[in-house]
Structures are given as C-alpha cells and as structure tokens.
Chains A and B, each alone.
Chain A
C-alpha cells in the first residue's frame, strides 16, 4: 500500500466549476500536510499547507481529518490557469516529504 494515495484523475471540469480532490495517508505519525501544484514538466510548488482546523486561501480550501487520515482540497470557480497536477504531500518529521502520485486537473473553456 502506498503511503499517500490519490485518485489520479484526470478531472475534466468546465471553467467556473467547483472540484474536490481527496487523499489518504497511512502513517499516523505524519505531522505536516501540504498540497503542491505541478505544471507539466516543471517542479512542484507549494500551494498551501493543511491544518486540522481547515484553512482557506482565496478560491482554495484545504481540510485535514487526522482520525480518518484524510486530506482534501476544494477549488471553487475553476480557472483555465488551475489546470495542473495536484500533489498531496505529508511529512513524518524525518525531514523528507512523501508525495502522492498526483491528481491531474484539466479545466475546459
């Protein structure tokens, strides 16, 4: 079983749609949680950290459920520029990041 599991997609949605990505992690000792965005053939870039209380950054909302070991990302009012792969990432305190395989989002005009 992978340490971090994501639905690979692709998610094809029209502009303006709301889309949700889910992720589960297996290591209950995980301490920090993130969503990264990766554009085609580019490096991953931090989109947002994820906190137990939930957090929002503009159109993006992230949630963490430690009991279920589940992380989510909600994107509202999708833009063409949101098209990318979204990587769910956890850190267990070993200073290494553990990445999921990513979920591909394609926003259609």
Chain B
C-alpha cells in the first residue's frame, strides 16, 4: 500500500451538482497531483498542488478547482457536474524538493469513482 488515501470510494451525483473529493498524501510528501481516468482511457492530469498553491494544470475547465491544506492533504472540487465527468479520480502524492525540476515518483491512492446521472 502507498499510504495515500482517498474518500469517498464511490459517489453518485446528478448533472449540475457539485462534488468534493478528498486525498490524504503519504507521510513525508508535500505535493499532490490529481488525475481523471475515464473508462478505457489512461489517467489525465488535472492539476498539481505544492505548498498550498496550484503548480501546473492540464486541459480542464475552471469548474475543476482544488485546495491543499497545511498538512498537505488536498481536495478536488467539481462544479456544475456533466455526464462526461463520470470517471475514476486519482490523487498521487510525491516529495518535491524546493528548486528541483527533476521528476519525483508519484504514489497513487485507490481513487474515487464518480458517477454522474
């Protein structure tokens, strides 16, 4: 196990609603990345949080937003849910040293499966 936890494990919402997904990073890690994985596809990068600030974003609209807390846990918020938002949402934690640009291994949590009806 990676030590990365996510809640809830499953969620059903209807179009137009809002949802908040939560992620606790592995002990000692300071960075959380969020990915969306649609059925039959690979995970797609949504955004990354480092030191409580967004540190890179993929091609997702502003209705996808996030937070990182002082304990490095993170939330992903999605407003105005659409049917196409149905997917597995994965968070991954890593340890990034300040000023380093090199890649640091990301450890994935078990994901939250969101269904939008």
Contacts and interface: CB of A to CB of B under 8 A. Distances in A.
A87 B105 CA distance: 15
B48 A95 contact: yes
Contacts of A42: 110-111
15 contacts: A4-B42, A32-B103, A42-B110, A43-B108, A44-B43, A44-B108, A46-B105, A93-B101, A95-B31, A95-B56, A95-B103, A96-B48, A97-B92, A99-B42, A102-B41
A109 B41 CA distance: 27
Contacts, number: 58
A102 B33 contact: no
B42 A96 contact: no
How many of chain A's residues touch chain B, expressed as a range?
20 to 34
A96 B58 contact: yes
Interface residues of B, number: 30
Interface in B73-98: 88, 90, 92, 94, 96
A31 B103 contact: yes
Contact of A95 (B33, B42, B109): B33
Interface of B: 2, 31, 33, 35, 40-45, 48, 55-56, 58, 88, 90, 92, 94, 96, 101-106, 108-111, 113
Contacts of A100: 42
A43 B58 contact: no
Nearest to B110: A43
A99 B46 CA distance: 12
Nearest to A94: B56
